[in-house]
Structure 1
């Protein structure tokens, strides 16, 4: 038996290109099985025996000796039984069924033995699921820009999500209507992974109190769970206090500034199953902590240490999100490599974020467009460097607005699939 230590996910650029160090694992370790791996195995992939071949033989001999007597002795324990006739024992009497034994094939509906037909087996519709999405609603969803993009997206190598904002609908008392509309997009197209239902949760001024915030998360999650059984739910936010690390002064002031973004509250959303994926934004790391002389790299490191310590990844997938890559189309090769190292490699290496979501294109209210790539998909140093990250493509995601394409939806999604393994399709 042997196991691999969890692979440190390094970007598909060469290590020398990114300048990322690799720990020096000792070849003298008597539990190392690195000698069994191919000579071209990357240095960051290591092999360690859970039990050496000698130990494995001893284990096998223990269980198999004496005609397997130890294995027989380790059989299942006697089942726990309850005697309902024993004085003082109370057994439930409100279970389904009539409490009587019946032979296989006996009728389960009164009158069926006389040729009657059980209720609801004559072809009539006995029950209508109020949460079901109708075929008409699905058809209407597929005619929207997002629906058409979903059809094109699943034809690429990318996993497809639907992305929207339900907080405003919730505040307006229209959650059920909005949730059903967005759910139709997710169920109409086979292959859609799930729905990201909010962004900047608790960071913007949509909700004034923690109680309002919690109520939105719980009620929206419940509504979508009913409509989307088996689909994933995602949310985006930022938890600024995590960047403070052990600096108590920083933690005190940041908590006052962002009172709704309590890590324990966010952790509860995960542990209670309201959210399957949490995206943590890196946008404030460069400026928020200057008062305490905490730079962006240290703040990012602090954040992911805190996430690991809280074991959030035991409850949900954790993603790092970075919108600052838009506007990098004019970077040089060296600058692009540095940005990739700091904003993509570092979160993955810190072993807390499992994916990184990059905004690849963003358009402001004045119509100004910022891109990672060049206009109309012209070449750029940043985009060419990102295309080299093939080994971690599945861990890279982006957000795409089909209502504002760069060229057209098919062309855009094809180009995005050369870098990203997942795409969030925006639905207004």
Structure 2
């Protein structure tokens, strides 16, 4: 309960905080030193609250078992019933009748055809060029069956796949159609994540080649399933350097395909709707320059905000460190600290709208890492994560229905206790 209160307070502070531009480098709240050389003068960085101030604020709200928070209560709601003299209510559209749940509300929809909007234009599209046979085949796959099993949990669904290899092999069109069929087999599928570790792995030789793949894959999927969101997962190592120019130079040389200008263009050009940034490298990549994980994460958050990427799409952070292998799971204290550093911080800094946690994954040697106990046995990590109900809609996980922990229905039900979204892996 106390952990949940801290989240509510932290997120409220981030929304209500008003920062005054740090024009002076002498300002003790200024963090302009973390911005890279050449940053425009109108882009400034200012800390809203020092750690000491944040501790005082938290102490005020949490003292006396949270009495101040309880007493603050919700504001009285103004209710307008439209049945009292003097009430002025707008006229509602529609026929004024109550219809059965699931009944069509657009003329023509009851016949199974594509409904038409009032002006005659097509107002709903459920897949272009995807046949009934394509849908039937998709429903028989593990991912297709999982999209049906996830419905009772209330989680939003993304189809998670990798089209880069198909693109390189000249099979993009065929592969795109298969994954598109998965996205329309069941209501509730938000969109498709069509590549992971993009530019970090060895699939492509240049940033231009990566851009070409993103463009062609995006166009193919948009043509097949217009209206579905598209996403990719990658990493931008140079962001962790902050204002350290030596670090930035070395990271640019080491990862030439991960140019933030190229990556940002995927968002600004409308090729993707969500960009997921991996955080696994933040703990070790910058040791040479004495930049620890907390500072690297803070540097990355500043860079993301400075580029206003969230104005063009959703930014997500992705973390696999909550899942551990063998007999050394995270303790309650370690989990609480990890939640603070890897979940609360990015959300409070307004650098990410959601955080994706890998709750289970398997390495090349077959060793399984979990955030919960084997076969869903009790786990200190999982117990702490289940306390984050206030931000459940902002938490997502990746799930492979072809390799369940117990069975798909059981796994998805348990995952829904923590996560509001799930990426279903499709081979």
Please give the TM-score of this superposition, normalised by the length of structure 1. Answer: 0.72
CA offsets 1:119-162 (integer angstroms, 9 cap, x no match): xxxxxxxxxx9941001110110011100000011221200110
Q: What is the CA RMSD across the aligned residues, in angstroms?
A: 2.9
Deviation at 1:366? 2.4
Deviation at 1:39? 6.8
Deviation at 1:276? 0.2
Q: Note if 1:179 corresponds to 2:170.
A: no
Name the residue aligned to 1:259: 256
* 1:8-407 superposed matches below 5 A: 13-15=4-6, 40=69, 131-327=128-324, 330-407=329-406
> Aligned equivalents of 1:16 and 1:167: distance in 2?
38
152-161 vs 417-426, greater mean Cα deviation: 152-161
Aligned partners of 1:282 and 1:322 also within 8 Å: yes
Deviation at 1:326? 1.0
Please give the secondary structure, in 2, of the residue aligned with 1:356: strand
Aligned partners of 2:317 and 2:356 also within 8 Å: yes
- With over 3 angstroms needed to count, the CA separation of the structure-2 counterparts of 1:41 and 1:308, relative to structure 1, is farther
Aligned partners of 1:235 and 1:277 also within 8 Å: yes
Deviation at 1:22? 5.6
- With over 3 angstroms needed to count, the CA separation of the structure-2 counterparts of 1:290 and 1:419, relative to structure 1, is same
Please give the secondary structure, in 1, of the residue aligned with 2:184: helix
Please give the secondary structure, in 2, of the residue aligned with 1:424: strand
- With over 3 angstroms needed to count, the CA separation of the structure-2 counterparts of 1:18 and 1:412, relative to structure 1, is farther
Unaligned stretches of 5+ residues in structure 2: 18-66, 76-125
> Aligned equivalents of 1:175 and 1:144: distance in 2?
19
Unaligned stretches of 5+ residues in structure 1: 1-9, 27-37, 47-128
- With over 3 angstroms needed to count, the CA separation of the structure-2 counterparts of 1:42 and 1:140, relative to structure 1, is farther
- Decide which structure has the larger Cα Rg and report it: 1
Please give the secondary structure, in 1, of the residue aligned with 2:398: strand
Aligned partners of 1:158 and 1:422 also within 8 Å: yes
- With over 3 angstroms needed to count, the CA separation of the structure-2 counterparts of 1:344 and 1:181, relative to structure 1, is same
Aligned partners of 2:274 and 2:314 also within 8 Å: yes
Please give the secondary structure, in 1, of the residue aligned with 2:335: helix
How many residue pairs were aligned?
326
Please give the TM-score of this superposition, normalised by the length of structure 2. Answer: 0.72
> Aligned equivalents of 2:305 and 2:400: distance in 1?
32
